[in-house]
């Protein structure tokens, strides 16, 4: 799922929060409905906790998660504004491990997903999540293929991942 959010750090991190203790099959329809209603951090900050809870109810822990989503988003907006002094519009793409871990409900899984899908780096993956580890290994293999390709050893065509609509 996270690979759908290459260019959307807030949406990626939100998906990691929803994936905690749930499956992608459970999260997909909930996340789509949530992002249809509140597509940006600023829109979700105007939402009522009860409205978010109603949408995420199928995932369980809706009261805790809905309040946590608002707190996470508040933290995210504040962090982006703080980093914006140095990085401007690139601030959401310049967060460090410390920055991510300081966001409400974001732990090692969120940081590893951010590294893989936003920074496009496999070097700092510390998650034990099997899907993230497998994706990191897959990307490392692609990078090795690209290195060999640049030396004339192989030639392959690569397609870009589908974009979130």
165 residues of the chain, pLDDT tens digit each: 556 676 899 999 999 999 988 888 999 999 999 999 999 999 999 999 999 999 999 998 888 999 999 999 999 999 999 999 888 888 889 999 999 999 999 999 999 999 999 998 877 777 677 788 888 888 878 655 544 454 443 333 333 333 333
Q: What span, in angstroms and rounded, lies between the C-alpha atoms of 26 and 128?
A: 21
Query: Residue 74: its pLDDT value, please?
Result: 98
Query: Residue 154: its pLDDT value, please?
Result: 34
Q: What span, in angstroms and rounded, lies between the C-alpha atoms of 149 and 103?
A: 39
Phi-psi region of 152 (alpha: psi -120 to 50; beta: other; left: phi over 0): left
Query: Residue 151: its pLDDT value, please?
Result: 43
Architecture field, domain 2-150: Orthogonal Bundle (1.10)
- Residues 59, 26 contacting (CB under 8 angstroms): yes
Query: Residue 68: its pLDDT value, please?
Result: 97
N-term to C-term CA, the chain: 13
Does the pTM of the predicted model rise above 0.85?
no
Query: Residue 145: its pLDDT value, please?
Result: 52
Query: Residue 27: its pLDDT value, please?
Result: 94
Taking the domains of the chain in order of start, what are their residue ranges?
2-150
């Amino acid at each position: 799922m996270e690979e759908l959010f290459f260019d959307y750090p807030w949406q990626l991190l939100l998906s990691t929060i929803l994936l905690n203790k749930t499956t992608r099959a459970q999260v997909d329809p909930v996340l789509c409905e949530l992002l249809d209603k509140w597509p940006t951090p600023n829109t979700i900050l105007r939402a009522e906790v009860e409205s978010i809870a109603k949408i995420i109810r199928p995932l369980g822990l809706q009261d805790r998660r809905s309040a946590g989503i608002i707190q996470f988003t508040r933290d995210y907006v504040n962090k982006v504004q703080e980093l914006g002094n140095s990085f401007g519009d690139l601030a959401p793409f310049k967060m460090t491990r410390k920055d991510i871990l300081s966001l409400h409900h974001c732990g090692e899984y969120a940081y590893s997903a951010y590294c893989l899908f936003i920074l496009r780096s496999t070097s700092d993956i510390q998650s034990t999540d099997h899907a993230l580890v497998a994706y990191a290994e897959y990307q490392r293999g692609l990078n090795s293929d690209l290195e060999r390709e640049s030396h004339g050893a192989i030639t392959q065509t690569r397609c870009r991942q589908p974009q979130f609509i």
